[in-house]
Amino acid sequence: MPKKYQRHFLKAKEVKPILSEASEKLKVDFNQIFKNKVELELVETDFAEIFLINGKPLLFRIEGKILPTLVFNEISASMSKVVVDMGAVPYVCNGASVMAPGIVRFEGEFEKGDFVLVVDEKHGKAIALGEAAYDVDAARKAGKGVVIQTVHFVGDKIWNFIKKPNST
């Protein structure tokens, strides 16, 4: 856990390109989600940049990619999902990629390289965010191997940082 981080508000001219990039990559219209004025605050850590939108840690940037955190509930409904069996949950929550045998079903359409939510079959809770190794049709046919490369999961540094009291 980092001991020091910098936190500051971004200017309006800095906010628009960040939200545009996120909207395009995630295929979500942020104007629909945030109808009011958006205040964007940046928290710079040693492992990622975390963006607070109206005070909530909803986006992060790592390796040049802007992605949603697992607490961004407003975006969850519109994202494609991969439902995994309960046996896969502990592995995914430790950062493992999603393997074909652990997948129960797919919800929504996605292309190779798109980001999808990984949810457990029992509760439907988001446990990870990952990048698709195939489009949805090829993923349905995959009998083995990695289908989703995990990039953010319950228990990773970003999750622990945003869930720790007084960190954001």
pLDDT in tens, 49-93: 999 999 999 999 999 999 999 999 888 888 999 999 999 999 999
- 36: pLDDT strictly greater than 80: no
Assign 167 a pLDDT band (cuts: 50, 70, 90).
low
Range scoring the smallest mean pLDDT among 3-7, 82-86, 104-108: 3-7
- Residue 32's CB is within 10 A of a number of other CB atoms, namely 10
Which has more pLDDT, 168 or 51? Answer: 51
Task: Look at residues 13, 147, 30 and name the one whose alpha carbon lies nearest to residue 83.
Answer: 147
pLDDT tens across 110-125, in order?
999 999 999 999 999 9
Q: What is the pTM for the complete model shown?
A: 0.89
Q: Token pair 């349905």 is at which residue?
A: 140
